[in-house]
Amino acid sequence: MSRPPIRVLVVDDDFRVVQLHASYVGQAEGFEVVAVARTIAEALEQAERTPPDLVLLDEYLPDGSGSAAIGRFGAAVMMVSAAEDPTVVRRAIAAGALNYVLKPFPPGVLVERLAAFRRFWQVLESGAELDQTGVDRALQALRTADTPVARSPKGRSPVTSEAIVEVLRAAEDALTAVEVADATGVSRATAQRYLSDLARDGRVQLTLRYGSTGRPEHCFEWLGSRA
């Protein structure tokens, strides 16, 4: 199931850092950098020209503080800054930042945050109205680190969980519980339990597929990184 990439605007006053962060975005599946900027004015101009879905925004910019400009982008914002002041962090979150990443950091940290954002984005992408469970699942997806296997609930085998995750990661489209069971050698009921755990954790998306009989089947699609 093909989806358009999430469009990212990268903003940092240091041209080397902005290119470095853009390269990290390139490592995250499902994202593309549509523009880079080194000032708030340039970033707003770029956002108007090519509206982004997500802005990676520094705090210390030549023409003002990034956190004060969050509401002007009309897009989701993730702060990526060396600003450790709790007041700045509070201001950024209050203004609408979905996450706050402190520089410097290993490349995997930002890639993981982006993968979590992608899961959050995809849960909300259908446009259908949400109940409280759906909202909770989206927010949980946003905050969950993108580790290969979520902690297994009591009675679950990490080996089986890993096998199911790998099958979902390798699949080009959503799979039914029967297809997962056939690929891993477990029973349909076992596959269904593990898939339900992953869906509850926001790591897979549950959809419906209508077969030739017209009877819908539950399908599961991996939302994390396939790397």
Query: Which residue ranges make up each domain of the chain?
Result: 6-119, 147-222
Report residue 135's pLDDT band, with 50, 70 and 90 as the boundaries: confident
Mean pLDDT of 29-46: 96
Mean pLDDT of 5-22: 92
The pTM is what? 0.65
DSSP result, 117-170:
HHHHHHHHTT-----HHHHHHHHHHHHS---SSPPPPTT--HHHHHHHHHHHHH
pLDDT at 72 exceeding the cut of 90? yes
pLDDT at 159 exceeding the cut of 60? yes
Closest listed residue to residue 53, CA positions, set 27, 81, 25, 87 = 25
Question: What is the structure's pLDDT at 150?
Answer: 45
pLDDT at 16 exceeding the cut of 90? no
CATH architecture of 147-222: Orthogonal Bundle (1.10)
Among 17-26, 55-64, 114-123, 198-207, the minimum mean pLDDT is found in 198-207
Centre a 10 Å sphere on the Cβ of residue 82 and count the other Cβ atoms it contains: 11
Give the CA count within 13 Å in the CB-facing half-sphere of 152: 14
Mean pLDDT of 94-107: 86
**pLDDT tens digit sequence for 167-208:** 998 888 899 999 999 998 889 889 988 888 888 777 888 777
Domain 6-119 in CATH 3.40.50.2300: yes
Question: What is the structure's pLDDT at 209?
Answer: 73
Are the beta carbons of 50 and 5 closer than 8 angstroms? no
Among 76-90, 113-127, 137-151, the minimum mean pLDDT is found in 137-151
